[in-house]
Each structure stands twice: as structure tokens, then as C-alpha cells.
Structure 1
Amino acid sequence: MGGSSACEPEGWLIDPNKHWSLRFHRDQKSWSSDLFVFMDKGRAMPDGSPALLKSRRHLPKRDAVEIWNKLRADGWHRVEPQWGLGLDP
């Protein structure tokens, strides 16, 4: 699932209703002094067809940490990769 702490939002979260998933992953092209994170929202399709990707946000790391912590406090749970075999969508 990728190591994650309050300082490193990386990995997958699923909402309490198990409908939407979020993938947080570092923008590999961002500078180490100015880190950015992608936050992809989507859901795996039950019939095995390609995932429904609803949105992608490009956030400064500090904003991603804030969102990650708020979601966790609101009942979102860490999960294994939900689509793309853990690869970039």
C-alpha cells in the first residue's frame, strides 16, 4: 500500500460507503524542495471494465497532507490499489 504517515500522504483511501477511492501519489517531476502530489478520485468497476476516473487534482504536499488527515478523521480507510494494478492510470 505504500508507506504513509501524516507527513507523507501516499497510497489509497476508500470512503466509508466503499463507493469512491482516492489515490495519493507524488508527482515525480516536482522538485524535492517544492513537492506536489496527485490525488486521483475514481472507482473500480464491478464488471472488470476499466476504472471510472472522476477527477485528478495536483496539490502542494502540505494541502495533500491536510486533505489526507481530514479524510482519515472522517472515516476513510486505507486499502490496497483499487485499479490499474498499482500503476499510473
Structure 2
Amino acid sequence: MRKQAWIQDPKTASTARFHWDPKSWSQVPWYFVDSGRPLTGAPPLLKTRRHMRRNDARKLWLALKERGWRPVKPQWGADVDP
């Protein structure tokens, strides 16, 4: 998994951001998974943050894809183009 990836449910616009924890040890990397919804003209509604090992984050990503979620470009934060 890359250092950052985004996935979204096309039906509800629920979004998950998977991003690497830079404080984790490189041999056993951990990821944060932030869940929320982007809002037009307002800050995103962030609902949860989970901290998990890379393999568990990968399993979650694949499970979301199986349920119809799709990879998307960044939805909030510094990576969003104005």
C-alpha cells in the first residue's frame, strides 16, 4: 500500500483516507484510516480514525472495494487542489 490512498462509497459519499503513520517502525508499518464525508463549501465531516497494521489496512481496503467502493482523488486536506 502506498503512503496515502482514498476510497469512497459512490452511493453515500462516505470516504476513507488510508495514510501511513510516519512514527511507525519501517519493518512493521502502521496506517491511520480516517472516515468521513466531504461537504461542499464546508470542512469535511470526519467521523472516525483507526490505527492499524498495514496488512489489516490492506484487508479493509479490499473489503471496501468488494462492497462497491471506488478509489478517488484526495477529498480533504492539503492534497486537495483549490
Normalization by structure 1: what TM-score?
0.81
In 2, Cα distance between equivalents of 1:19 and 1:72: 14
Name the SS of the counterpart of 2:61 in structure 1.
helix
1:53 maps onto 2:46 in alignment? yes
Is 1:27 the counterpart of 2:46? The answer is no
Residue matched to 2:63: 70
Consecutive unaligned residues of structure 1, counting only runs of 5 or more, are 1-7
Task: Give the Å deviation of 1:18.
Answer: 4.0
> Percent identity over the alignment?
43
Q: Kindly state the Cα deviation for residue 85 of structure 1 after the two structures are TM-superposed.
A: 3.4
Say which structure is richer in strand: 2
Which runs of at least 4 in structure 1 moved beyond 2 Å after TM superposition?
none
Structure 2 residues not aligned, in runs of 5+: none
Q: Kindly report the root-mean-square deviation, in angstroms, between the aligned alpha carbons of the 2 structures.
A: 1.5
